[in-house]
Structure 1
Amino acid sequence: MSQKNQWDSSITFILAMVGAAVGLGNIWRYSYVVYTNGGGAFFIPYLFAIFVMGIPFLILEYGLGFSFRDSFSNIVKKINPKFEYVSWMLVLLVFTVVVYYMVILGWDLVYVVSSLNFQWGHHTAEFFVHNVGGSSNLSNMGYFLIPTTVAVLFMWMVIWYISHREVNDGIGRISKIFMPLLFIIMGIIIVYALTLPGAGIGIDALLNPDWGKLSDVNVWLAAFSQIIFSLSMGQAIALTYASYLPENSKLVDNVLIVVATNCLFEVFTAFGVFSILGYMSQTAGTPITQLVSEGTSLIFVVFPMIFNVMGPVARILAPLLFLAVLFAGITSAIAFLEPLVNSILHKFGWSRKKTVTVLSVVGCAFSLFFTTGISSYMVQIVDAFANEFGILILIAVQCIIFAWFYDIDSILPVLNEHSSIKMGKLWKFIIRYFLPLVIVVLWAIGMYSLISEMKSFEFMVDSIIFVSVLVCSVIFAKIKSES
């Protein structure tokens, strides 16, 4: 492998992988999942999911990427040329995630600027609807939300600037800057949050165990789902990043470091989030059950409302929080882009700069469709489709391809050579039998929920995406490789 397509150290790789894993979901989703799925009791299925799914599958991805040192599409094609269609479907679906993910980063950039003088005013929900995220009213799709549109264009330029450079100079360098900054900023916010009056109310609400929830299969499935998307497993990111590793890397050790860092980050962030919610509950006399939410509602509506009553210190905390979200989002966005970048430059023999430029222009054009007056509704539709339908089933297919059509025994020496913990029969059993079953069950539940609640407009959008991904996958697979 060319030196320019290789991380300069395992530390750079670890920071890049942590940057890929630590994203928006760690900050705004995890605490809600814990709270609604048994509180402290949720940590039992959560830890179980880490050890029997998250770690084993990431080890597989690291081993394949490091062994083949090739793009995801080429690796799958080498295993069996008939499966190349599947590989392109996955990387294209992950690229679809980038398209709407950049819109969320655009929203956050608007809030970074707005936090300097609290432009959201006292009606935080109205500010989000009218200026940033829009609503589900289809009559509003005829106009653009200018702040969001400008922010999205700017964020795509940022992603292009980082990603068009060779991996170590672009992704590697930004990861070494943004990850330490993210941890420092979140550390400051969490420590301060824990000192707020009412923090104990929030933490008690978060951790209060409901042991009866452990008999609910949906709680266990929620834990597995959280691990899949928290660690970005099965999305060709880990495999692609591992293909850039230098020789003599400790693959299993690196997996454990990345998983531990990601999980500790989201757990401590949950303490910070609920400490702030507890403060608001005590200060405003609002039951914490009315404050708890996830996603855009938590970050862009509830938190600005809390900052409004927090006093002068909020003038510091608000910009710090939205900067932290921005840093986490940028490192995740460049990771989501990388599998398609690597697959295309290997397939067509393009330069990295040309590949990233073309994808950035195409991605930005599609992102603009998400900046109209139904911005948040469009993001919600595509997010549900990409994750609950597309990516989940393709992770299960990967398990089958890699475990049943490829001799995974051949990567055991690579995994075990420099690692402190050795892989063997248990690891192979999990990859071959356990993971495909669990993921197919998750997919079936997600599909039932998606279809049963789907409206005609949502069906139209999902159909367009499905057909587009399918057609493009066939075209890319049919084109003769230039590499």
Structure 2
Amino acid sequence: MFRLVQMEDMQLNTLNDRTNAEAAPKGRQREQWSRKAEFILATAGGIIGLGNIWRFPYLCYKNGGGVFFIPYLLFFCTFGVPLFFLETSLGQYTRQGGIRCWRAICPLFEGVGYGSQLVLFYLAFYYVIILAWAFRYLFASFSSELPWASCLNSWNTGTENRFLPILIHCPHLTFLFVHFANKDTCSEYRPNHTLQEFENGTSSVVEYWERRILGLSSGIEHVGNVRWELALCLLLAWLLCVLCIWNGVKTTGKVVYFTATFPYVMLLVLLVRGLTLPGAKEGIKFYLYPDVSRLSDPMVWLDASSQILFSHGITLGILTTLSSYNKSTNNCYRDCIYLCLLNGSTSLVAGFAVFSVLGFMAKEHGVDISMVAESGPGLAFIAYPRAVALMPFPQLWAICFFSMIISLGIDSAFVNVEALITNIVDTYPSIFENKRRRKLLLLAIGVANFLGGLLMVTEGGLYVFQLFDYYSCNGMTLLFFAILESVCIGWIYGADRLYDNVKDMIGYRPWPLMKYCWKYLAPVICTCTLVFALVRYTPLKFNNTYEYPWWGSAIGGFLSLSTPVTVLLRMLYAVSVTPGNLRQRLKILCTPAKELLPASRNALNQEEDFQTFLHAG
């Protein structure tokens, strides 16, 4: 028995020596943020993005208005903030990115890092397409007349059957524009005018989006030609992303002073403008009016949990990477609280800005707000442009809105790419530690993503975009990673041990609720939500009408399963190459690197209990 224990200790020391050598390459000094504000702004820019503007407000009204805050706040406290703090403290303590930090903490779970980086790669690949759309709309906003406000364009339908507009004077209206049209005829949106939409007709805003911008085909089977105007906008977006992180955190830390603050200036401008519009009060009522009966619907709770994961950037390795550039004494606990509160507050304020404008548009058209409320790209490229066309000085408000969308998106995009680059450099330091090679890697990723992204700016590109958006970075994948992270830290590495690590960094132990969330609440809640999401899963449909062919669904299934399978394969590989029997292998793979071993007696006791459990097995 003594000889067996001696052999295990020798194997454990060998693995620790190898892990230590890999975790801290000689002669390589990790960069740091010049100021604490750079970390705060970079993290805020990375997690606060388009989802705060176009997803949270829609989910709020869809799921019972103010009642939605109950499950949202519950999940915010039980696994949103705790997992945010877990990843941030882990990166700062290990001073490694989203892959190597797991190798140092628990080699068995190194696959979590690889899987999360694959998700991040998918996200970086298709996220920039949104910026291309936004740039195209921004450039169009500088025209003398907004092109989506009129039906007198070459791309509009029914031009061959449309009479010229007739001007009619009415006692209570300034003007009434009527277009005599037949089936599939465009209808215009005009400020201070009523809207006459005929059955089977389409709006000028929708036609501009589908026919002018996208040239939308009938399905993913018909990819069609590249929309070269969008391709040039995509090139511009990738150029900006590459330039913003060209010199690593030194460049990123300076750029975020603008990219992370400018969206708030634009959001404030649009909020003030929205609140002063007629109908804004009704829009805000619709946004917040509580419907208590909705709490009995499980989908409300599923939407709340997925929004927490999406909006906080959890499980993607972004938080770990950004915090790895912090000074070891930085108060990451306080930073996490402030950043999470800022994120939630931004979502709430964005809801006021969006629904005040939607209330105005509903009043102008004399319809219910539910008829004009949209989510996702439908809000940014259909609903809001439609509302802007009804305002005085529409070009000004269109420029403000799309400038905000671009600054929000570009911030998240280059932070995603920076995290991806950092993790590749950390994993292969002997190859990419040279700054010149790092820049070549950045260029290669930018060029490859641009060339691959051309597929999404074709006439069938929107169908491909939705495949990636629905399958590659969905809530089920993020929930799976959240479960693994909480189990690894809460039960294998040890919640008390990480608390002692945090105390070494900031000088005190955080509120005990965090570690109980890691051990109990987060894994239980995420597991229940994941099971429910699997039960309620439905295949993707475009606009709830178009069904993807079998091979399209197969591609989606591959995107969805590729990340969890990566984690499991990496675990099996680690077990297979580690010497000893199964019990010895698990002991070795669940032991952290030497420099991470705790000094406190409580954490040592927890380690001894875990090793006793392994020996008893």
TM-score, reference length from structure 2: 0.73
Alignment equivalent of 2:391, drawn from 300, 310, 325 = 310
Matched, 1:462 2:556: yes
* Alignment correspondent of 1:119: 147
* Alignment correspondent of 1:346: 426
Measure the CA separation in 2 of the matches of 1:211 and 1:28: 23
Note closer, same or farther for the CA distance 1:53–1:327 as it changes in structure 2 (3 Å cut). same
Q: For 1:355-394, list aligned pairs within 5 A.
A: 355-386=441-472, 387-394=474-481
Measure the CA separation in 2 of the matches of 1:353 and 1:65: 23
Note closer, same or farther for the CA distance 1:445–1:59 as it changes in structure 2 (3 Å cut). same
Note closer, same or farther for the CA distance 1:297–1:469 as it changes in structure 2 (3 Å cut). same
Measure the CA separation in 2 of the matches of 1:468 and 1:428: 30
SS at structure 1 position matched to 2:247? coil
* Alignment correspondent of 1:446: 533
Structure 1 residue 108: Cα displacement: 0.9
Alignment equivalent of 1:151, drawn from 227, 233, 242 = 233
Structure 1 residue 79: Cα displacement: 3.1
- Of structures 1 and 2, the one scoring higher in RCO (CA 8 A, sep 6+) is 1
Q: Which amino acid aligns with 1:353?
A: K
Structure 1 residue 225: Cα displacement: 1.3
Matched, 1:434 2:514: no
Measure the CA separation in 2 of the matches of 1:376 and 1:394: 28
Stretch of structure 1 that moved more, 296-305 or 367-376: 367-376
Structure 1 residue 146: Cα displacement: 2.0
Cα-to-partner distance string for 1:210-242 (whole Å, 9 max, x where unaligned): 112223332222212111101111211111111
Structure 1 residue 453: Cα displacement: 4.8
Alignment equivalent of 1:27, drawn from 53, 70, 85 = 53
* Alignment correspondent of 1:165: 247
Note closer, same or farther for the CA distance 1:162–1:372 as it changes in structure 2 (3 Å cut). same
* Alignment correspondent of 1:297: 378
Is the CA contact (8 Å cut-off) linking 1:53 and 1:435 kept in structure 2? yes
Structure 1 residue 451: Cα displacement: 4.7
Q: Higher Cα Rg: structure 1 or 2? A: 2
Note closer, same or farther for the CA distance 1:246–1:464 as it changes in structure 2 (3 Å cut). same
* Alignment correspondent of 1:212: 293
SS at structure 1 position matched to 2:384? helix
Measure the CA separation in 1 of the matches of 2:31 and 2:234: 28
Alignment equivalent of 2:113, drawn from 72, 87, 93 = 87
Measure the CA separation in 2 of the matches of 1:466 and 1:282: 42
Is the CA contact (8 Å cut-off) linking 2:220 and 2:463 kept in structure 1? no
Structure 2: give runs of 5+ residues left out of the alignment. Answer: 1-23, 151-203, 542-547, 578-617
Measure the CA separation in 2 of the matches of 1:95 and 1:276: 35
Stretch of structure 1 that moved more, 328-337 or 142-151: 142-151
Percent of aligned pairs sharing the same letter: 27
* Alignment correspondent of 2:77: 51
SS at structure 2 position matched to 1:294? coil
Is the CA contact (8 Å cut-off) linking 1:50 and 1:227 kept in structure 2? yes
Cα RMSD between the aligned structures? Answer: 2.6
* Alignment correspondent of 2:271: 190
Alignment equivalent of 2:257, drawn from 173, 176, 183 = 176
Note closer, same or farther for the CA distance 1:285–1:229 as it changes in structure 2 (3 Å cut). same
Is the CA contact (8 Å cut-off) linking 1:235 and 1:395 kept in structure 2? no
Q: Which amino acid aligns with 1:336?
A: N
Q: Which has the higher helix share?
A: 1
SS at structure 1 position matched to 2:40? helix
Matched, 1:398 2:491: no
* Alignment correspondent of 1:132: 213
Alignment equivalent of 2:498, drawn from 401, 411, 417 = 411
Alignment equivalent of 2:338, drawn from 253, 257, 260 = 257
SS at structure 2 position matched to 1:413? helix
Number of positions where the alignment pairs a residue of Structure 1 with one of Structure 2: 478
Note closer, same or farther for the CA distance 1:406–1:420 as it changes in structure 2 (3 Å cut). closer
Alignment equivalent of 2:357, drawn from 276, 280, 284 = 276
Measure the CA separation in 2 of the matches of 1:453 and 1:447: 14
Is the CA contact (8 Å cut-off) linking 1:248 and 1:418 kept in structure 2? yes
Measure the CA separation in 1 of the matches of 2:291 and 2:465: 33
Note closer, same or farther for the CA distance 1:460–1:302 as it changes in structure 2 (3 Å cut). same
Structure 1 residue 139: Cα displacement: 4.5
TM-score, reference length from structure 1: 0.92
